[in-house]
Amino acid sequence: MTPPTERPLTAMIDPAAGPPDCTAYERAGGWQATRNALGRLAPAGIIDMVTRSKLRGRGGAGFGTGQKWSFVPKEPAADRRKYLIANADEMEPGTFKDRLLLEGNPLQLIEGMILAAYGVQAGHGVIFLRGEYHLACARLHQAIGEAREKGWLGENILGSGFSFDIHVHSSAGRYICGEETALLTALEGRRATPRSKPPFPQTGGLWGAPSVVNNVETLCNLPHIITNGPEWFAGLGLGEDGGTKIYGVSGRVVKPGAWELPIGTPLRQIIEDHAGGMRPGYRLRALLPGGASTAFLDATAIDVAMDYGSVEKAGSRLGTGMAIILDDRTCPIGMIRNLEHFFAQESCGWCTPCRDGLPWVERLLDAIENGSGQEEDMDQLGRHARMLGAAGRTFCAHAPGAMAPLASGLKLFAADFAAHIQQGRCTQQAGA
């Protein structure tokens, strides 16, 4: 579909012109992967190609995509009800990469879903879309309708015997819906709370049927892997991980935005070459490398390679790859308080530590930020960071994710916390 010298995901996106229709998409190489796969490759061959490509989930967890698919029962789609769900509920603060793909080239996602569904033999597809993405919703409906009209969706696609269609579900909202089992529960029309595992969705997901949930960016890579081959895709990465990654930067940089680059691109290159560096008068102090639920890295980590293993060794997670910048004129305590307000508000309330612990953290941070904090508040915050941040002490990963910026912030910004408590006010110079 795309020559190896081009960027696979974003090469066909022109924000000014709008998304391509089926004719333009096909003229640029679209649907080639579907023609090559359906009826010509065995479903197991699709899974093998994706496994060899080293594609890892781009939603934040980074699980091997082919490995995830391998757990799905192998019955043909005609013999067993199975679902393929695109997780487009992009509510991670600081993250906007999937919106770029949904609005810029929805047909690429549709083709990726067809290929994924064929690989796992799922006959039903759902795009679980963030409710606020109104433009993306309209463009997805238009693209799906045109794909049906042209025969790319529906019964017996290309005479292959494989049938698949897609439904768009606009979420009612809640960050917890990004957790795949909570997403499935919401799709069933119930309160969005996570499920206990096992069973895992691949064997018992939506309405008890085998289900695969993949991120939008993950699925958009598939047409390029099938067309150009797994070795080509794996070779795009600069380290152990394969492919490209959409990286983003928000905060006081010259050019906030998102760019598709080889996975493993150094953070310094992303910030300085693509985001234009810090705005005049501001200095990089620290950052969250992969969205709000990742740990702070200080400015000395700017040369870290942005891949899963390297960022983990540096003390954080790659997450969504969308960095949030903290500059030297923004109060870190205020930033952390703002993040913890979001996480407390978005707790589903299913388990006590998360439901009660996160609002308590927010109240403590409120007191410190407003000048009424006490020395013992630091011990309480540290205890919450340890207890809520440890794996297995809450029902899902919401609270551990919420504790990542707090736990790292308590270490990096200890002097700022002390100044707030001792002086009863913020000593940080306000940013413009």
Q: What is the pLDDT of residue 391?
A: 83
Mean pLDDT of 152-175: 94
Q: What is the pLDDT of residue 15?
A: 67
For all residues of the chain together, what is the average pLDDT? 93
Contacts of 31 (CB under 8 A, 6+ apart): 22, 25, 111, 152
Please say if the pLDDT value at position 179 is more than 60.
yes
Closest among 214, 252, 253, 194 to 85, alpha carbons compared: 214
Please say if the pLDDT value at position 263 is more than 60.
yes
In whole angstroms, give the CA distance from residue 25 to residue 27.
Answer: 5
Architecture of domain 244-327: Roll (3.10)
Confidence of residue 376 (pLDDT cuts 50, 70, 90): very high
Contacts of 269 (CB under 8 A, 6+ apart): 261
* pTM for the predicted model, two decimal places: 0.93
Q: What is the pLDDT of residue 432?
A: 41
Give the domain 332-423 fold.
de novo design (two linked rop proteins) (1.20.1440)
Q: What is the pLDDT of residue 4?
A: 44
pLDDT digits (tens, 9 = 90+) for 308-366: 999 999 999 999 999 999 999 999 999 999 999 999 999 999 999 999 999 999 999 99
Query: Residue 310 half-sphere exposure, CB side, CA atoms within 13 Å?
Result: 18
In whole angstroms, give the CA distance from residue 158 to residue 39.
Answer: 8
Q: For a pLDDT cut of 90, what percent of the chain falls above it?
A: 86
Residue burial 199-214, b: 16+ Cβ < 10 Å; e: rest: ebbbebbbeebbbbbb
Q: What is the pLDDT of residue 2?
A: 44
Q: What is the pLDDT of residue 60?
A: 79
Q: Do domains 244-327 and 332-423 have the same CATH topology?
A: no
Give the domain 22-236 fold.
Rossmann fold (3.40.50)
Residue entry with tokens 């997805």: 140
Residue 134 CB coordination number (10 Å): 11
Q: What is the pLDDT of residue 61?
A: 80
Domain boundaries, the chain: 22-236, 244-327, 332-423
pLDDT digits (tens, 9 = 90+) for 183-204: 999 999 999 999 988 999 999 9
pLDDT digits (tens, 9 = 90+) for 130-156: 999 999 999 999 999 999 999 999 999
- Cβ atoms 206, 86 nearer than 8 A: no
Confidence of residue 177 (pLDDT cuts 50, 70, 90): very high
Structure tokens belonging to residue 149: 């009209």
Helix (H) or strand (E) run with residue 146 in it: helix 134-149
Mean pLDDT of 226-247: 95
pLDDT digits (tens, 9 = 90+) for 6-49: 567 887 787 677 899 999 999 999 999 999 999 889 999 999 99
pLDDT digits (tens, 9 = 90+) for 394-403: 999 999 999 9
Phi first, then psi, for residue 430 (nearest 5°) are: -70, 140
In whole angstroms, give the CA distance from residue 307 to residue 319.
Answer: 10
Q: What is the pLDDT of residue 159?
A: 93
Mean pLDDT of 228-241: 94
- Cβ atoms 358, 352 nearer than 8 A: no
Contacts of 372 (CB under 8 A, 6+ apart): 424
In sequence order, what are the beta bridge partners of 165?
Answer: 124
Mean pLDDT of 211-232: 96
Residue entry with tokens 């010298």: 5
Q: What is the pLDDT of residue 3?
A: 42
Phi first, then psi, for residue 15 (nearest 5°) are: -55, -35
Q: What is the pLDDT of residue 7?
A: 66
